């Protein structure tokens, strides 16, 4: 597609349930990033995928969070046993390569609300 | 570790007036600097970036930012704002080393243009 696509755009879930958030990057972009945007807190890095290399998971806040990227394209971020503090907008971005000089293209995000 | 400080969380300004959104960063290494804009209910879009060379960089819609190494600043300016500039603006920094990929974002500045 022309841009980074994320689904769903909004998700309301009950505390303790698992959720899956999907990101479809721009075709041909080898790098994919997940960030979390909490109210008044800016953007928090979660995880980075580059081609077939092992992902950088250093930003995942707990072991309830995991992500995978299948076939070097679509990525899924999974949050298990959701907590209210997980409520945020989850943003996905992609870039042509793993270097910063290319800049990121962001999706519109998934707004997660845990009730 | 790097950090970004956006000194103003909200900036109201009248239409056609000038505006400056402030950004300071902290880093022990050379950096790349970015400004992203987020319109309501949309993802972040790259507005402009500084990688090297001229310290003054411009966007296509009239914004400019100047890299000041001695003051570790990358303030964003526009001489005359429009209603359509109402959005949230994020400053970001990255290590300029080879293979660097993680962006560290500020908490954002909400620009409100008043008719």
Query: 3-class SS at B12?
Result: strand
The residue ranking higher by pLDDT, A100 or B36, is B36
Q: Which residue of B has its CA nearest to A6?
A: B43
For residue B14, the enclosing domain spans 3-114
pLDDT digits (tens, 9 = 90+) for A47-94: 999 888 889 999 999 999 999 998 879 999 999 999 999 999 999 999
pLDDT grade for B106, boundaries at 50, 70 and 90: very high
B107 touches chain A (CB under 8 A): yes
pLDDT digits (tens, 9 = 90+) for B7-22: 999 999 999 999 999 9
Give CA–CA dist B20/B33, Å, rounded. Answer: 16
**Mean of the per-residue pLDDT values for chain B?**
92
Query: 3-class SS at A84?
Result: helix
Cβ-defined contact of B46 to A42 (cutoff 8 Å)? no
Q: What is the pLDDT of residue B99?
A: 67
Q: What is the pLDDT of residue A99?
A: 66
| C-alpha radius of gyration, chain B, whole number | 14
Q: How many domains would you assign to chain B?
A: 1
pLDDT grade for A98, boundaries at 50, 70 and 90: low
- Domain A5-99: which CATH class? mainly beta
Q: What is the pLDDT of residue B77?
A: 97
The enclosing domain of B12 has a CATH number of 2.60.40.10
Pairing between β-strand A31-38 and β-strand A42-50 as defined by DSSP bridges = antiparallel
pLDDT digits (tens, 9 = 90+) for B69-104: 999 999 999 999 999 999 999 999 988 876 667 889
Return the domain boundaries, chain A: 5-99
Q: Which residue of A has its CA nearest to B93?
A: A100
Q: Which of A82, A86, A77 is nearest to A25 (CA)?
A: A77
Residue A64: count other Cβ atoms within 10 Å of its Cβ.
14
Among B43, B88, B108, the strongest candidate for a mutation testing the A interface, having the largest count of A CBs within 10 A, is B43
Cβ-defined contact of B46 to A104 (cutoff 8 Å)? yes
CA quadruple A90, B36, A94, A98: dihedral positive or negative?
negative
Q: Evaluate if residue A100 carries a pLDDT over 80.
A: no
Contact A68, A3 (CB under 8 A): no
Q: Which of A40, A45, A91 is the closest to B43 by Cβ?
A: A91
pLDDT grade for B1, boundaries at 50, 70 and 90: confident
pLDDT grade for B46, boundaries at 50, 70 and 90: very high
Cβ-defined contact of A103 to B45 (cutoff 8 Å)? no
Contact A3, A26 (CB under 8 A): yes
User: Contacts of residue B49 in chain A, CB cutoff 8 Å?
Assistant: 101, 103
pLDDT grade for A39, boundaries at 50, 70 and 90: confident
Q: What is the pLDDT of residue A1?
A: 54
Q: What is the pLDDT of residue B102?
A: 82
Q: What is the pLDDT of residue B114?
A: 96
Phi and psi, residue B86, nearest 5°: -60, 120
Among A26, A35, A103, A105, the strongest candidate for a mutation testing the B interface, having the largest count of B CBs within 10 A, is A103
Q: What is the pLDDT of residue A63?
A: 96
Q: Which of A89, A64, A108, A50 is nearest to B41 (CA)?
A: A108
Across residues B42-53, what is the average pLDDT?
A: 89
């Amino acid at each position: 597609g022309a841009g980074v696509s994320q689904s769903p755009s909004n998700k309301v879930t009950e505390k303790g349930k698992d959720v899956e958030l999907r990101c479809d990057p721009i075709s041909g972009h080898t790098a994919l990033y997940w960030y979390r945007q909490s109210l008044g807190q800016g953007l928090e890095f979660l995880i980075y995928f580059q081609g077939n290399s092992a992902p950088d998971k250093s930003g995942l806040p707990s072991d309830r969070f995991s992500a995978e990227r299948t076939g070097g394209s679509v990525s899924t971020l999974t949050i298990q046993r959701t907590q209210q503090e997980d409520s945020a907008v989850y943003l996905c971005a992609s870039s042509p390569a793993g270097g910063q000089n290319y800049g990121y293209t962001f999706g519109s995000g998934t707004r997660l609300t845990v009730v | 570790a790097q950090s970004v400080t956006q000194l103003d969380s909200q900036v109201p300004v009248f239409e056609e007036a000038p505006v400056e959104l402030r950004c300071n960063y902290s880093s022990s290494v050379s950096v790349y600097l970015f400004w992203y804009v987020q319109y309501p209910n949309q993802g972040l879009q790259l507005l402009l970036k500084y990688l090297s060379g001229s310290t003054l960089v411009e966007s296509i819609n009239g914004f400019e930012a100047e890299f000041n190494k001695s003051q570790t600043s990358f303030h964003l300016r526009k001489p005359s704002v429009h209603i359509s500039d109402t959005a949230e603006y994020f400053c970001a920094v990255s290590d300029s080393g080879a293979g660097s990929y993680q962006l560290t974002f500020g908490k954002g500045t909400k620009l409100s243009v008043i008719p």
